[in-house]
Amino acid sequence: MLQRLREDKALQGLLLIAPTLLWMIVLLIIPLILTLVVSFGRRAPDGGVIFTFTLDNYIRLLGLQPDCLNPFACFDPLYVSILFRSLSLAFNTTVIVILLAYPLAYFIARAPHERRNTFLFLVLVPLWTNFVIRVYAWMMLLRTQGAINGVLGWLAGLLGIPFTPLEMLYTPGAVLVGMVYEFLPFMILPIYTSLEKIDPSLYEAAADLGANALKTFWRVTLPLSLPGVVAGTILVFVPVMGTFVVSDLLGGKQVILVGNLIQRQFLDARDPTFGSAASLVLMVLTLIVTLFYTRKFGFGKEIVV
């Protein structure tokens, strides 16, 4: 047996992937199939699932009603607008995160060798605290009686200006700030990695051939670091599309995203069939956007993080 294991490369490979494969089958593939099956079912009055084959849930998601013959008369934009809001929030978050992360990653990558690890460590420190707790911290900052309003009020008092506390919590802006904060490290790290890999003599070569700093950045640094930006975008865009904690805590009832919709279908509305349909639509939508994006910017090469 041991002898066979030594010689059989395929068997070795199988053994190596077996634990993860099992894990993925039990916790990803099977639940996914169940979700698909449930999404075609009908909600039972007690909150259970009647297994059948109907597209009602998907039709509802599109804002139509199964029995309605005139789509213009009974179109309800609620769910479509939630999807659209999630997409645009994910897009905005990603763009802001790139704009913030790139200069920082660039700074770290060009810092002296012995200091880089310290900077990277500082980038990672927030991740030591639980995700939800950090969102709570933002609530403390953004509340009407929170830290930011406190400081602003104190300053206004000093200057003798009348001050009404800003309404920051439970706004789309608060959700955006929270998302950007949460996902910034996931953009910094891959961009840093790809910047750090660039041979410094390429900068010298560009300068030698007549490129100033700006042109060198535009023609050499940026294209060579694009794989890091692409990887970071996937690491940020995909979770932002699905997260519901940030919008739940910082957006309240004002900002409902697909993640919140799905969560409520399962827990509050007790309609797992509609929740499943929404989950799958979210997944497919994310997949399409990601594929389109990597095709366009990933140069068809594998993404090395």
List of residues contacting other proteins (CB under 8 A): 199, 201-202, 204-212, 215, 219-220, 223-224, 299
| Shortest separation between residue 58's beta carbon and other proteins, angstroms | 43
Per-residue three-class SS string for 69-104: CCCCCCCCCHHHHHHHHHHHHHHHHHHHHHHHHHHH
Rounded distance between C-alpha atoms, residue 68 and residue 216, angstroms:
60
List, as own/partner pairs, every contact residues 127-130 make where C-beta atoms lie below 8 angstroms and the sequence separation is at least 24, other chains included: 127/185
Nearer to other proteins, 145 or 201 (CB): 201
Nearer to other proteins, 164 or 201 (CB): 201
| Shortest separation between residue 162's beta carbon and other proteins, angstroms | 54
Helix (H) or strand (E) holding 49: strand 49-50
Nearer to other proteins, 199 or 268 (CB): 199
| Shortest separation between residue 251's beta carbon and other proteins, angstroms | 41
Nearer to other proteins, 139 or 211 (CB): 211
Residue length, the chain? Answer: 305
| Shortest separation between residue 127's beta carbon and other proteins, angstroms | 32
List, as own/partner pairs, every contact residues 138-143 make where C-beta atoms lie below 8 angstroms and the sequence separation is at least 24, other chains included: 138/174, 138/177, 138/178, 138/181, 138/249, 138/250, 139/169, 139/249, 139/250, 142/168, 142/169, 142/174, 142/177, 142/250, 143/168, 143/169
Rg of the chain over Cα atoms, rounded to whole angstroms, equals 25
Rounded distance between C-alpha atoms, residue 175 and residue 217, angstroms:
33
Nearer to other proteins, 74 or 209 (CB): 209
| Shortest separation between residue 206's beta carbon and other proteins, angstroms | 7
| Shortest separation between residue 107's beta carbon and other proteins, angstroms | 21
Nearer to other proteins, 154 or 299 (CB): 299
Cα angle vertex 223, ends 219, 229, to 5°?
A: 145
Nearer to other proteins, 30 or 205 (CB): 205
| Shortest separation between residue 198's beta carbon and other proteins, angstroms | 9
Asked if residue 163 lies in contact with residue 148, where contact means CB atoms within 8 angstroms, the answer is no
Q: Which residues contact 261 (CB under 8 A, 6 or more apart)?
A: 79, 82, 275, 278
What are the φ and ψ backbone dihedral angles of 43, each rounded to 5 degrees? -75, 130
